[in-house]
């Protein structure tokens, strides 16, 4: 049986070994991945099939904006899909799942297409946005998605229509099936006035800068919004703004963000998250669910 990294399997992709993941996740911390593949979509079927046949551990990575890597690293293969240039046809845009959501929104604006303004400041990739049904300022991915093309662990490439995605608040069919690799997505937008579209994007960017600690490494909102509450408000009401463990800190600008204030480790972040969860539950009886995924063994 071929190993996943025989030269005949990865024809268009790039592979690195023992790659520090601090340069690939937005928290800027964590250990190394044993193998890191910058994957061309054409290689996806063969790679996933080979990895599953071999039983080797692997994980998918977008922009690393909702991920922590253990300080001991990840003893497996991290797979990051290559980005591409969004392809526009009329009011439809098709793009690689590895492309940043911000780039997609900018491409839409350049073609005077409205519907993705909300996505301009969301730091993830298109694939991550589809999986999480990303949203902000009243817009969500489900509002504009037409279809998603993905690869199964057995190497089959399939397409899923918008109605089959089981979209909900920060969830989808792909959140329930993390073994599937999203390859590309197609969006339906509407014709708009370019100046108005860009002005809206600029205004939303201004609002983000004013309310969020964008100058510090973080994973964005650390906790999911509990039903009937706002995580940031609960944390602030517990007087936890500025609370620090090691190099991890609850942002003084927005309590819903745990930031790397300098030299933080994965363990620092996890300990601070646990302290926040415990404090909020003891005071309000509300369980905060962490939104951040973790790669690596405890």
Q: Please identify every residue annotated as catalytic.
A: 170, 221, 291
Helix and strand element counts for the chain (H, E): 7, 19
Which of the 8 DSSP states describes residue 23?
G
| Helical (H) or strand (E) element with 74 | strand 74-81
Residues 139, 25, 210, 237, CA torsion sign: positive
**DSSP bridge partners of 159:** 149
Query: Do 44 and 37 touch, CB atoms closer than 8 A?
Result: no
CA distances to 12, 86, 283 from 135, rounded to whole Å, are 33, 20, 29
d(CA 105, CA 101): 6
Query: Do 176 and 196 touch, CB atoms closer than 8 A?
Result: no
């Amino acid at each position: 049986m071929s190993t996943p990294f025989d030269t005949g399997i990865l024809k268009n992709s790039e592979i690195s070994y023992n790659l520090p993941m601090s340069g690939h996740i937005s928290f800027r911390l964590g250990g190394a991945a044993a193998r890191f593949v910058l994957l061309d979509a054409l290689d996806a079927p063969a790679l996933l099939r080979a990895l599953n046949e071999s039983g080797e551990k692997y994980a998918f990575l977008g922009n690393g904006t909702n991920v922590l890597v253990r300080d001991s690293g990840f003893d497996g293969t991290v797979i990051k899909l290559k980005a591409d240039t969004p392809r526009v046809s009329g009011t439809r845009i098709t793009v690689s799942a590895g492309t940043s959501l911000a780039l997609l929104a900018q491409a839409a604006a350049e073609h005077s297409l409205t519907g993705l303004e909300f996505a301009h400041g969301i730091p993830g990739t298109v694939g991550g946005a589809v999986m999480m049904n990303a949203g902000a300022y009243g817009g969500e991915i489900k509002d504009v998605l037409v279809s998603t093309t993905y690869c199964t662990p057995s190497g089959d490439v399939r397409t899923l229509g918008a109605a089959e995605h089981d979209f909900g608040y920060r969830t989808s069919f792909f959140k329930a099936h993390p073994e599937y690799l999203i390859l590309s997505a197609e969006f339906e937008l509407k014709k708009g006035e370019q100046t108005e579209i860009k002005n809206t994007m600029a205004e939303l960017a201004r609002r983000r800068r004013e309310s969020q600690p964008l100058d510090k490494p973080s994973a964005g909102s650390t906790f999911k919004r509990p039903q009937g509450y706002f995580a940031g408000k609960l944390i602030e009401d517990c007087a936890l703004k500025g609370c620090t463990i090691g190099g991890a800190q609850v942002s003084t600008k927005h309590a819903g963000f745990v930031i790397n204030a300098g030299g933080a480790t994965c363990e620092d972040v996890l300990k601070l998250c646990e302290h926040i969860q415990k404090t909020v539950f003891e005071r309000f009886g509300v369980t905060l669910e962490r939104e951040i995924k973790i790669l690596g063994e405890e």
